Amino acid sequence: MLTKRQQAQRQRGVGSSDVPVILGLSRWKSAYDLWLERTARVDCAAPTEAMNLGNAIEPLLLKLAAERLRQRVVRPNHTFVGGKPHHRANIDGMVGMAKRGYPIVEAKSTGYTDGWGADGTEEVPSGVRAQVMYQLAIASSTTAHVACLRADRGLSFTLHPIAYDESFAAYILDQVDKWWECVVSDVAPPNSGASLECAKRLRVNDSGDHSEIDAAVVQNDLEARAALVAAQDRADSARAALLVAMRGNRRGSGGGYAVSLTTVATERFDAANFKQNHPDIAAQYTVQSGYKRLTIRKETAT
């Protein structure tokens, strides 16, 4: 878990968790998204439940790693800085002492098993390998251990040794430097675009300024939305035809596929009825929120 001081320092450079994003290996964020964050163009996103859970169980994973390695694992309370000021790494744990050159322990918890090999192997997802390799380069260490808690048909703990790869580390540092130059020069990174989740967090300028938008960008959005509506209509028609083909039965088969129809019971809170019958209580727990709505309309000639 990062301290407030470490979180502030991260904004001054590239942390190890940023590396998979910069290399295009993250399923959650793009290099463009990260650039928007570092250049203060978007509002900060709140930590997710998964992040909070990961931080909470990190001490346990370090303890399990220490038991497996039969050595003491220490949690550093400082940020390691590499050969350049923006090369920064906050390390979960180190074997023996929290000093440069000592083996690293990286704690991970995941429900995604893709890329994870058997316990004791070096097989980890490419994004994790890149993150750890960056840590090794910054901390001048030669060995890392990835301690992973997996949630896949039960819980399991695995430990994966990672050896320092000088050529891979050099490639990572080069890509980090190129991306950081985009931050310094305030020029968006090439070959990357913003995710919708991040774009929705872009800070809005209420000064009344008007943006001239490339017509192709507007047209592309209109065509994509139309294609989405058409695809949904086609999907709805196909599902309706399948339900009709079931002829009222709960089971069917065709084309090598088994089809079943089940009734799923659900419950929902009747907020409108509660508010009508208990307005005072409802008012105490009503939280104002909002969202950004983008509309496109044909301009009229003046």
Is pLDDT at 6 greater than 50 in this prediction?
Answer: no
Amino acid (one-letter) located at 242: L
Q: In the chain, where do the E strands start and end?
A: 73-74, 80-81, 88-89, 93-95, 104-110, 143-151, 155-163, 251-254, 257-260
- Judged against a pLDDT cut of 80, whether residue 268 lies above it is answered with yes
Neighbours of 168 (CB within 10 A): 15
The CATH fold of domain 4-199: Lambda Exonuclease; Chain A (3.90.320)
Give the pLDDT of residue 41.
93
Mean pLDDT of the 281-285 span: 88
The pLDDT score that the predictor gives to residue 154 is: 85
53 or 121, which is more confident? 121
pLDDT confidence of residue 204: 85
- Tell me what pLDDT residue 11 has: 63
The answer, yes or no, to whether residue 1 has pLDDT greater than 50, is no
Sheet (strand 73-74) strand order:
73-74, 93-95, 104-110, 143-151, 155-163
pLDDT at 53 over 90: no
pLDDT value, residue 4: 52
Residue 246 has pLDDT above 90, yes or no: yes
**Model confidence at 208, in pLDDT bands (50, 70, 90)?**
confident
Query: In this model, does residue 158 exceed pLDDT 90?
Result: yes
- Residue pair 127/51 in contact (Cβ under 8 Å)? The answer is no
Domain ranges, ordered by start, for the chain: 4-199, 214-254
Among 10-14, 51-55, 214-218, the least confident range: 10-14
Q: Kindly report, residue by residue over 73-126, the tens digit of the pLDDT.
A: 999 999 999 999 999 999 999 999 999 999 999 999 998 888 999 999 999 999
* SS3 assignment, position 175: helix
**pLDDT at 7 > cutoff 70:** no
In sequence order, what are the residues at sequence separation of 6 or more whose Cβ sits closer than 8 angstroms to the Cβ of residue 85? Answer: 12, 13
pLDDT per position as a tens digit, 125-141: 999 999 999 999 999 99
